[in-house]
Structure 1
């Protein structure tokens, strides 16, 4: 068992509300969680590998004595979805419409390309798609407890993001709309949309934020991290606009920018991926995933590190 795997822990962040936190939160190391009441349990996301997903679900079962009646994926990426097939067969899975289609066509579950080192081994997982899809919003009732599943209204981290909001405890599972202390990633969404989503998240007025990656946030740390996201996305917008004006490629623009306060964040090469998204949106073209990741590896000086 790796050190990061051993450090994963289940934390109760509200009455019957648990977060599964996997340090260090970098590539493929996500957070997940669950809301449990006497009437049922809703799991929020799974994990990338068979081993990690089983450890999460076993810890949740031990802590709550329940099996999930429902589950939701906050978006399509494999660190939040590949473990879906380890949920009980009777668990009803929910996702945003675009998320379902994204996972349906995702080739990485069938064999991870050598963009990362070491190349992740997913284990015995199969593609399991949502049974129910949401466009904008859906409310799940676990007895007297409401869990609101909400879409930010446009592309942000991806085109199919959902948050899970528990209003009576003011706990917000943001999925990858928030990376706490790590470089955000929006190459499958929108830079401007991700920036707009930060204000949308703040409007919930959460007491606890469970980010998609990184530590749980409470108190003043919530506003601090949201402000960091605003500044980072504005840096991407400025860098992308200047790069296009000066005839630079996304990789050249990335190499020219001073990351400043963000230089110490893990996965800094996501700057290149985010700039590829900005350029694609500016030109009205499809993002070339192979070219984007090839540039990210070039910027990084080799394959991207992961501890999954």
Structure 2
């Protein structure tokens, strides 16, 4: 399997100072970040899952943004997005998270020992508790000659506590994992109907000209990212209305979306969809066990994440 590559992709058609930090290929524990910088501050959207990857991210932010005041926005409380928060704030700064994500983010890194095997997490510490603040509704961050809108997603979608970040002048929307491209989404911690509502809300509220997804490449106008997500989530609800053979349905999903990475996630998503529409509480641990069974056991991140990041300015 090829080594993970980390590419800094400035958004050429966007206002200078809006940068997507795109990790490829989309893989377990490989997620995108990005930043918006102005004369008075810089907003970093998400960190990385390990100390080393976060140190490299912060180094690149500082290379472009200098010593401007740092605010880190955590889009949701999954470890590949927030594990490095304490690392990113070692030299100061503040962080924002949705209220439902606040406790997990403050508690520090999640390494999911029951799911992954890995030996190179590095030194990951929790952030200072008083450095992390909740975002309720809509908050505009004034960065001097730029702005960033940090907005809480209504209801439960990908998780119970999702945030998005919008740069209004360029129309760039950092979606977190509400949108992923080229990768099978993960729905076990959220709500399929709520996620569908959130996709409509994103399009109606922001009408974005550029999407920076939580996983996968940057999407420009005319991209089918929203449509592809919606088709998949609607299919999950449709097929689980009367069927409970999740293994069989997961095989069907793999055939319908053959290019998506990590197809073992389908079975957990189907279990979530069934629980959502039949008014049942999903046993998340059971869903994770089903995903791991489909993957052939615990997932070896040493194998997946091996290799030095390669940065390209385009």
Give TM-score, length-normalised by structure 2.
Answer: 0.86
The structure-2 alpha-carbon separation of the partners of 1:9 and 1:253, relative to structure 1 and needing over 3 Å to count, comes to closer
User: 1:142 matched to which residue of 2?
Assistant: 143
Q: Is 1:267 equivalent to 2:262 in the alignment?
A: yes
Per-residue CA deviations over 1:58-97 (Å, capped at 9, x if unaligned) read 1121123234421110111111100001123421111110
Q: Matched residue pairs, number?
A: 295
Answer whether contact 1:41 1:66 (CA < 8 A) is retained: no
The structure-2 alpha-carbon separation of the partners of 1:105 and 1:92, relative to structure 1 and needing over 3 Å to count, comes to closer
Answer whether contact 2:47 2:83 (CA < 8 A) is retained: yes
Higher RCO (CA 8 Å, separation ≥ 6 residues): 2
User: 1:289 matched to which residue of 2?
Assistant: 284
The structure-2 alpha-carbon separation of the partners of 1:226 and 1:120, relative to structure 1 and needing over 3 Å to count, comes to farther
Per-residue CA deviations over 1:182-232 (Å, capped at 9, x if unaligned) read 1111211111111122222222221211110001111222xx111111110
Gaps of 5+ in 1: none
Give TM-score, length-normalised by structure 1.
Answer: 0.88
User: 1:206 matched to which residue of 2?
Assistant: 208
Answer whether contact 1:181 1:225 (CA < 8 A) is retained: no
User: 2:115 matched to which residue of 1?
Assistant: 115
SS of the aligned residue for 2:158 comes to coil
Per-residue CA deviations over 1:17-50 (Å, capped at 9, x if unaligned) read 1111111121110001111111111111100000
User: 2:221 matched to which residue of 1?
Assistant: 219
SS of the aligned residue for 2:240 comes to helix
Answer whether contact 1:112 1:120 (CA < 8 A) is retained: no
2 CA distance for matches of 1:205 and 1:282?
29
Q: CA RMSD for the aligned pairs?
A: 2.2
Answer whether contact 2:101 2:160 (CA < 8 A) is retained: yes
